[in-house]
Chains A and B, each alone.
Chain A
């Protein structure tokens, strides 16, 4: 079987339509999908799973209800149509499979799967397959029971790794599901139905025998045994129901406890947000106070500008007055000099008597100067006044209030925004934490432990009841044989019926176990081959599977290896998955979440070299941030047929696009 194309619409994080073309070439049959988180990659897997089996699986392999499969953004826009369309070929035939779900007309907002109507269409070589035949047709190609082994995500790998720790709780669960998988349903079903037919025929026989002389005792004995059988079967059903409900409770508790782990991180974030809010508040207070202080003196800035003009006038006046005074002084000085010269009657330098002509000149000069002087008024007072005024007005200066206010307003706004953000964050976190009560969590932890114990106890009880049933059945078989020998002619029919039913039931029953053993040998063989191809320790002989589907690595001496590295553990788990996958069907595509980041280079390269050879197509979902494509994927480079990348657009939407190989 080979996948051609997957188109999904409004499927989980993929709003609208996305499509992916699978590699068509036989050799270049590897496709790599890079994604940053689990959601986008697991959703791809789920799109294929939903198309084929009408189921998308979430954590703990629990089905995701249909209303949560629809992309959230599309749902918010009231578009509740979700679709997965797959084209593929199998056994030389071309198939088209389409599964759609849409809101039922009378439902306003879907809140449960029943609020949807689901339709499936399948064509084979262009011919439409009737609705009730679709499941059978698909089961021939890709049986659902083993779908988890070719559509597997990291959680499955984890579960299988835990399986290898014998006796662990998960191991028990895996064992059960494997046995279910490897037990061909036709046989188990047949045995159950035949058992019921046998029981009712036996009852009938007992009733008839009761009236036949000599056989009353046998009849009574058979009746008693049959009654006991029914009582055991009722007990078994009751116990199985109880086990199921206890498991469901336990899973819910596990979810709650896991969620609680995040509470601690949230509390740290809450504290940080509170500190931030406090800081913003204190900044606000400080800045507001600064602003008030600034406004108390800003009036000076208001006036400063207006006063500047006045100051300029005063300064000019001051200068003029100062110049005038200086000039006046100079003239007075010169008059003094002339007076002195006149009084001295002789030239100060040469000490000769001053000639009359000179004396006249000096006298004239003195007159001119005195006239000039009289024109200057005494502005000393005026100058003093102007200077005083100027000094006063100079005292009134601005404080750069304008620019400081602008800055303060900016700071205040930014602190307000910061505070609002912090307060929103606080509210949001508090809502998330609300209801996470530590006392409550402690109680849940206790309940979880008890649920685990209860499951163990119930499982043991179920085993015990099964053994009882087996004992009663054995006794009934003996009783039947006895009756057969003694049965008179008129009871031949019922006796024959009982015999046939018993023989058929026995054949089916024994076949189940035999077939399981046969299949387990096949799984062991295939897993061992896979392991030998992928292990870096070439001295190892292979794997063996024990009764709990626990696997042992066998070393060169034929002994089980006791201590295994984490890398080896994953390879062992992968080998088991590969073995189960290929036992359940012929070669086909595998879509898997890769543990590449956790594998050492040797194992990684082996894995990448081996898997493409045992699958028709290998789709690897790779965590983009954890690997270096050039080195970590080198081993598969030659076989790369297509590469895609999933990008997160928002926390409700992703998109997937093809990128260069």
Chain B
């Protein structure tokens, strides 16, 4: 990839609202916790999400990924996708999908985190 990467990552308007709700419901202490979990959920499921609709900025990349662990995980798990887009643009889209998925589960009842972790381990 030759284009430079994002300095700030964000979400679609819809997912941002959902992330707000997740925080209000008390599922996560901070939005950034939900964001990161969303990324990991999407990575575990191996989804390839599309572009963000009505994108809104949220976090500085340095705040989101201080030890570059997310970057390395994405690079290790989705090398193919990274031929098309930059790491943090991919991370954004993963987060977008992950947050929407968490929100859907929270609305249906309580999110069963142990089950999600179990699933990721068995995949």
Contact = CB atoms under 8 A, between A and B. Distances in A.
- Most interface-central of B26, B29, B30 (chain A CB within 10 A): B29
Contacts of B116: 302
A302 B73 CA distance: 11
A329 B40 CA distance: 42
Contacts of B27: 295
Interface string A373-402: 000000000000000010011011000011
Interface residues of B, number: 29
A299 B37 CA distance: 5
Nearest to A309: B77
Interface residues of A, number: 26
A292 B73 contact: no
Interface string B58-80: 00000000011100110011000
A296 B35 CA distance: 9
A296 B123 contact: no
A306 B77 contact: yes
Nearest to A305: B121
Nearest to B111: A295
17 contacts: A293-B29, A295-B27, A295-B37, A298-B113, A299-B40, A301-B117, A302-B43, A303-B73, A303-B120, A306-B120, A392-B69, A401-B113, A401-B117, A402-B114, A402-B121, A405-B113, A409-B114
Contacts of B26: 288
B73 A393 contact: yes
Interface in A186-245: none
A295 B29 CA distance: 9
B72 A396 contact: yes
A389 to B, nearest CB: 7
When A and B form their complex, which 8 residue pairs have the shortest distance between CB atoms, in order from nearest? A302-B40, A299-B40, A292-B29, A305-B121, A402-B117, A296-B33, A392-B72, A299-B36
A178 interface: no
A610 B29 CA distance: 80
A389 B77 CA distance: 12
B76 A389 contact: yes
A392 to B, nearest CB: 4
B52 interface: no
Nearest to B115: A402
Contacts of B118: 402
Given A306-B43, A307-B77, A393-B76, A295 B114 contact: no
A393 B72 contact: yes
Nearest to A395: B69
Interface string A48-76: 00000000000000000000000000000
B41 interface: yes
A293 B30 CA distance: 10
A300 interface: yes
- Most interface-central of B26, B27, B39, B76 (chain A CB within 10 A): B76
Given A303-B40, A306-B43, A396-B72, A292 B33 contact: yes
A340 interface: no
A47 to B, nearest CB: 55
Given A310-B76, A393-B73, A405 B44 contact: no
